[in-house]
Structure 1
C-alpha cells in the first residue's frame, strides 16, 4: 500500500467538473396531464390534471424542453468537462423496443454535442440497456455499436476501440490532465441475469481497472472514476463492491474523485479501509437525478477542483425549484441550493470530513433533517420528517460501501432488503482479489 499524504492545502485557482445523471427523458410528457392515480406506473402523459410545464415531483419523468432549457444556459457555469453517468430512457422501459430505448441516448447525445463545447465523458446506466439491467458480456453489439458511433469525438479512436468491447474505457482529459476512467458496473448489477453462469469479474473489468490505475500511478496522473451504480447500493453485488473497495484502497493516492448516479438521491458513501484502525481511503459521490421521478426537483452538481493539487475543494449542488417555476410564465432557472463546505461547515473534502457528516446525521436531529431535505432534492416545506429510524438508515447508507454491510448496519429495515439478498445468493460468491 502506498504512503498517503495529508489532505493538501488548496489555493484560489480552481476549475469545475459538471455531473449530470439519471435524466430519464420522456418524449410523451404532457403538461396539464394527470400526475397521480393515472392507472399506469408512469404518469404525466394523458388525462387532465396538474402536471407542471417544467416537470412534476411525482412518478413522472422529465419533459424534453426542461433539459433543453438547461443546455441553453450551460456556458454560464464555466465548466472544464462533463461527466454523464447514465440512465436516459423513461421508467416504463418495458413498453419499448431496443431502438426506442437507444433513441433517448441518441437524442440526448445530439443535444449535448449541440450545446456543450467541452469534453463529455459518458457511461452506461441500467436503463440504457435492453432489456433494462441486462448486459450480456461479448454479445451487446447493437447497444455498444451505436454508442460507439454516437460518442465519437468525445472519445478518441483508441478509447472507442476499448469501449466497443464491453462498455468501459480510460481517457486522458486534455484540459486538466485528469485520467477519466468510465466503468460499466452493469457488470455487477444484481438484476443482470447474464452474470449467473459466471459472475466473477465479468469481462475482467476490475482487473483491467487495476491495470489502468497502475499505469496512471506510474505516469503520475490524477484519476476520476465514473460509473452508474454506486458501491453499497442494493442493486450492486456485494462481492463486486468488495473487490472495488480493495482497488480504491490500493490506489487512493491517485484517485481524486468517484462519481456515480442511479439512486436519484443527493448522497455519498465513504469507502472503508481494508486495514483495521487506518483512515478510510475515499468517498463515492452520488449525484441526485435530473429527472423528477421519486418526487424530486431536477438537479445537477459541480465539483470544484484545485488546479495545482487536483484535489476536490467543494461540491456545489444546483436544483430547479419546480413549485416556483411552474406557477406561471417563467424560465427554467436552476438555482444553487447549497455547497457542501458552506452548509455542512466542512474543513475540507477528505474522507474524514465526510465521516463527520455521517456522524452528525446519526446523532443530531436538526442536522439530519437538513441533510434529509437535500438528500431528497426537496425544500423544507416539501420533505417529511426524518425520525431516529430515518437517521440510522441514512447513516448506514453513508458509511457502508458494501450492500451486505449496509443491511447489517440498518437492522430496523432488514426485511426491506430481503429480495436483494436473495438476488445476491442467486448469483453466487466470487473469488477474492488480493491487494
Structure 2
C-alpha cells in the first residue's frame, strides 16, 4: 500500500448474485462462511501480529485493513449482518480457519490454548446470533498448533467446543475431525478434515499412511449408505482437491488422486462440494464418464488479509432444493467494502460516498453512555461527509434528550458543541458518580474487551487522564475479576510494566481456559527492556493461507 494512504474503515454492504437458480419448489437456505482468522491483538497491541508488514495501530481502520486479519468488531458485524439478512436458515456451514496468521514465529503469539480459546469465542458468537440453527464446523489448517499439523488432542478440545458430548458424530470428530449430519430427509452433509491431505502437514506420510484416520474408508461407506437410502450429499471441508486459483495443488498427489476417484465413482450421489482456504470466491468442476459432474464451490474469506490480491470480507447465502428435483443451486455473495481516505496526491473524485444505514445510530433518550453515543454520531457523520452535524444529531434524540434539545435557544441548536455540552451535562455521570461505579464494577462473564471498555469509561468520566488513567484502569481491570483470575494476572512477569491492552490479551486466554490450566502460555510478550530498539517498518512478510 502506498504511504500516501490513511487506512480507514468499512461499513458498506453490497450484494451480488451468481451461479444458477434452483428449479424445485421446496427451497432451503443456508449460510456458508470461511477463513474468519480473528486477530485478537488488533486494536490491542501497537503492531498487530497478523499484519503482513509492520503497521502502527494509528494507521489501521476500526473494522480492519487489507494487510491484517479480522478484528472482533468486524466478526461481530459479519455474523449479525447475516442474522439481519437471513435469520431462519436451515444450517450454517463454517469452513474453518478461525485462528489468525502471524507475521513472526507463531509460538510468540499462539499456542494450543490460545487457538482453542479463539475457536470458542467465535463459536459462541455464532451460536448467540443463531441459537436455533445447526452449526456445521470444519477444521482449518490454522486452527491447529502448530499450523497445519494435525493433532488428535486438539480435535478432542475442539469437539468439546463444537458439540454436546451426547451427539452421535463426536466419536468420528475426536478420531479424525470428520462427521456426517442429516440436515433434511433428502440431504446428508459429509464434513471432512482435509488437513490430513495438505502438503504442509508433516504429521502424515502418503506413502506409509494411505488413509489417515481412516477417513477415506469412512467417506466411501457414507457415500454407499447415502446411495442406498436415496439421499443426496454435500461434501464440505477446508482445503479443496485439485488446483487452487493460484495454480497450486494443496493436496499430496496420492491423496488428491484417491479423493477425485471417490468423487467420480459417486458423482450421482454428490450434489455439490464446499470448501474454503483460498480466500476467494471460485468454483471447479470434477467431470466423470457417464455419471455427470460435481461442482466444487470455494467459499470466500471473512478476513480481508491479502494473499495475492486485496479481498473484501464476504459470506455466501445459498439456496438449494430440499427435494433435489433439480440439481441447481443459487448463491448470493454478500461482501463489505473497505474505503480509503486518499492523500492530496490522489484524485479524490475516485472516492465513493458511503451511505450508512440509519440503524447504525440507535436513538438516545436518557439511558446509556451519552459520551460514547456522541462519538459514534460524529464518526457516522464523518463517513457520510456530513459537515452539519448539529442538524443530523437531533434526528436520533428521543424522550428526555429530545425535550432538552427543544428547550435550547435556536442559536444554540445550530452549534454542535453547545448541543453536546448540554447532553453531557444532563446525562453523563459526574466524577463522583463515575468513581463510585468504578469501585463497584466487576467482571460478570462478558467478553473481556467489553469489560475493559466499561472500566476505562468510568475512569475517564471520573476525571483521570494520561498515566493516571492508564494505571487506575489497569488496577480496576485486574481487581474486578474473580480472585483466581486476578491472582494469575497479578503474577504475570513484570506485571507493573504491562499495559492494559497486554493484560487484556492475557485475560482473554485465562477466560477461555478457566482456572484449571496451570500452564497457560502468555498471549503477549512482556515489554522490551528499556533501550531496546523499536520495530521498524520493512518489507511484507511471506505468509501462507
TM-score, scaled relative to structure 1: 0.66
Name 1:3's counterpart in structure 2: none
* Correspondence 1:108 to 2:122: yes
Equivalent positions of 1:17-416 (< 5 A) are 17-30=30-43, 42=51, 47-58=56-67, 60-75=68-83, 76-77=85-86, 78-92=88-102, 93-95=106-108, 96-116=110-130, 117-136=132-151, 140-141=152-153, 143-153=154-164, 157-174=167-184, 177-196=186-205, 198-232=208-242, 233=244, 234-273=249-288, 275=289, 278=290, 281-294=293-306, 295-309=310-324, 311-323=327-339, 330=356
Displacement of 1:243 in angstroms is 1.0
Does the C-alpha gap of structure 1 residues 302 and 156 become closer, same or farther in structure 2, counting only changes over 3 Å? farther
Does the C-alpha gap of structure 1 residues 41 and 159 become closer, same or farther in structure 2, counting only changes over 3 Å? closer
Q: SS of the counterpart of 1:108?
A: helix
Does the C-alpha gap of structure 1 residues 316 and 329 become closer, same or farther in structure 2, counting only changes over 3 Å? closer
- Equivalent-residue separation in structure 1 for 2:40 and 2:141 (angstroms): 19
- Equivalent-residue separation in structure 1 for 2:81 and 2:158 (angstroms): 26
Q: SS of the counterpart of 1:52?
A: coil
Larger gyration radius, structure 1 or structure 2: 2
Give deviations 1:272-328, integer Å, cap 9, x for gaps. Answer: 32x4xx575211100110001112110011221123326333111110112289988
Give deviations 1:158-186, integer Å, cap 9, x for gaps. Answer: 21122111111111115x64211111111
Would you say the 8 A contact 1:31–1:52 is kept in 2? no
Would you say the 8 A contact 1:228–1:260 is kept in 2? yes
- Equivalent-residue separation in structure 2 for 1:191 and 1:314 (angstroms): 34
Does the C-alpha gap of structure 1 residues 129 and 31 become closer, same or farther in structure 2, counting only changes over 3 Å? closer
Displacement of 1:235 in angstroms is 2.1
Give deviations 1:19-70, integer Å, cap 9, x for gaps. Answer: 1000001111129977xxx9x7625986254321111122x00011111122
- Equivalent-residue separation in structure 1 for 2:235 and 2:134 (angstroms): 15
Would you say the 8 A contact 2:267–2:292 is kept in 1? no
Does the C-alpha gap of structure 1 residues 41 and 122 become closer, same or farther in structure 2, counting only changes over 3 Å? closer
Would you say the 8 A contact 2:30–2:90 is kept in 1? yes
Q: SS of the counterpart of 2:334?
A: strand
Would you say the 8 A contact 2:148–2:198 is kept in 1? yes
Does the C-alpha gap of structure 1 residues 291 and 111 become closer, same or farther in structure 2, counting only changes over 3 Å? same
> Structure 1 stretches of 5 or more lacking a match?
1-6, 334-419, 421-435
Would you say the 8 A contact 1:44–1:51 is kept in 2? no
- Equivalent-residue separation in structure 1 for 2:173 and 2:77 (angstroms): 30
Q: SS of the counterpart of 1:180?
A: strand
Does the C-alpha gap of structure 1 residues 215 and 280 become closer, same or farther in structure 2, counting only changes over 3 Å? closer
Does the C-alpha gap of structure 1 residues 50 and 44 become closer, same or farther in structure 2, counting only changes over 3 Å? farther
Does the C-alpha gap of structure 1 residues 32 and 166 become closer, same or farther in structure 2, counting only changes over 3 Å? closer
Does the C-alpha gap of structure 1 residues 43 and 195 become closer, same or farther in structure 2, counting only changes over 3 Å? closer
> Structure 2 stretches of 5 or more lacking a match?
1-19, 342-351, 360-543
Does the C-alpha gap of structure 1 residues 279 and 134 become closer, same or farther in structure 2, counting only changes over 3 Å? same
Does the C-alpha gap of structure 1 residues 180 and 240 become closer, same or farther in structure 2, counting only changes over 3 Å? same
Q: SS of the counterpart of 1:158?
A: coil
- Equivalent-residue separation in structure 1 for 2:239 and 2:331 (angstroms): 20
- Equivalent-residue separation in structure 1 for 2:358 and 2:33 (angstroms): 16
- Equivalent-residue separation in structure 1 for 2:118 and 2:294 (angstroms): 33
Name 1:404's counterpart in structure 2: none
- Equivalent-residue separation in structure 1 for 2:53 and 2:80 (angstroms): 24
- Equivalent-residue separation in structure 1 for 2:54 and 2:40 (angstroms): 9
Does the C-alpha gap of structure 1 residues 8 and 134 become closer, same or farther in structure 2, counting only changes over 3 Å? same
Name 2:440's counterpart in structure 1: none
Name 1:423's counterpart in structure 2: none
- Equivalent-residue separation in structure 2 for 1:87 and 1:111 (angstroms): 15
Does the C-alpha gap of structure 1 residues 329 and 268 become closer, same or farther in structure 2, counting only changes over 3 Å? closer
